[in-house]
Structure 1
Amino acid sequence: MDQFDPPSPHKRLALLHDLYYAGVCIGVLKYDLSSNCLSLIDGLPVEDVFADATRLMAMKDNNLDLAHVDRLTLYLWSRQMRQNGVASWIQRIIIDLNNLLPVRNPNRRLKLIGFVEGTDIIFVTIDFGVYEINLKSLRWKTIMKTESLCPLIPYMSLYIPKEKVIPNEATH
């Protein structure tokens, strides 16, 4: 390995069951949390992997997916096991976002900024807005109007444990 691009929260990360995936410039590092085993998945389906144009995602179908934008086109691949027992990237969908989103300047580059884990929802930013896109229905909505936004981590829920109650009658 000549180059090493360390994983960072601003890049391509995904957690799927006990497997942690981190995108690096030469492929995808896969770390199995249950066996403490590290491996490399090479052969990404895209050549130009930019931090804000490519995202690893844990989607609704429990597969590792990879989304990549090239200008205003979104490509989505899924890592699936073939009949011969070898896992490979299979292209799922190509979406022309120019016809889907209210794009004012088609020469601007769209950025992938996040996704909702375990769903088919991604977040992109272009022009002066952040948009949520449902990849199944192809419906979108404006989340906020802003000029620039780095990675987005959607808030799903918060767990607050009950306070421990110590009875007054406790004797020591």
Structure 2
Amino acid sequence: MAVQYNRRLVTAEDGGLGFASVDRTILTLFSMETGPNGAVGWVQRRVINLKSLLSDAGLLNPAFPSRLLTAGVNGFVEGTQLIFVGTFICVYMIDLKSGRITKVLDHGAEVLPHMSSCIPAMEAAST
């Protein structure tokens, strides 16, 4: 079973538009860049080998232990360097700045993180 979320628009390290893609176990991060002649395109910024970061339990197929599962981008936190990557077995949060990995789910799922809510003051809402 392949993960459906293997590509996603994200916030780039510089705060601009970014793109994250996973091909089997390779996470590639791109950012939108304007070239010297004004052409806009995707520029590869970083390549991360998930096999070297994630536990084997999250990448090995339990039915066929000799086969790796296909990973995918399950979500990201806008304005931060946090991205969620996983398979149908589990989901990990990767801090792209520190390289720290945290297992967040014991099953595959799309992740929609919520940082905070702000309710405007009544005076501001009435003007």
User: Which residue does the alignment assign to 1:114?
Assistant: 75
Could you tell me how far 1:51 is from its partner in structure 2? 4.7
- Contact 2:12–2:30 (Cα < 8 Å) also in 1: no
Report sequence identity in percent.
36
Deviations 1:75-131 (A, max 9, x none): 111111112221111110111000101123152111211000111110011263211
Distance in 1 (CA, whole Å) between partners of 2:4 and 2:33 is 23
Structure 1 residue matching 2:79: 3-state secondary structure: coil
C-alpha distance in 2 between matches for 1:80 and 1:55 = 17
2:58 maps to 1:58: no
For 2:52 and 2:88, the matched residues in 1 are separated by 15
Structure holding more helix per residue: 2
Q: Equivalent residues in 2 for 1:49-128 (5 A)?
A: 51-104=4-57, 105=60, 107-126=68-87, 128=89
What's the C-alpha RMSD, in Å, of the aligned pairs?
Answer: 2.0
The gaps in structure 1 that reach 5 residues or longer are 1-49, 165-172
**1:122 and 1:134 in contact (8 A); partners too:** yes
Asked if the contact 1:103/1:126 (under 8 Å) is kept, the reply is: no
> Which runs of no fewer than 5 residues in structure 2 stay unpaired?
61-66
2:118 equivalent in structure 1: 159
Verify the 8 A CA contact 1:59 1:117 in the aligned structure 2.
Answer: no
Q: Is the 8 A contact 1:60 1:117 kept in 2?
A: no
Greater CA radius of gyration, 1 or 2? 1
**How far apart, in 1, do the equivalents of 2:51 and 2:122 lie?**
51
1:65 is matched by which residue type in structure 2?
G
Which structure ranks higher in relative contact order (CA pairs < 8 Å, sequence separation ≥ 6)? 2
TM-score, length of structure 2 as denominator length:
0.78
* Residue of structure 2 equivalent to 1:167: none
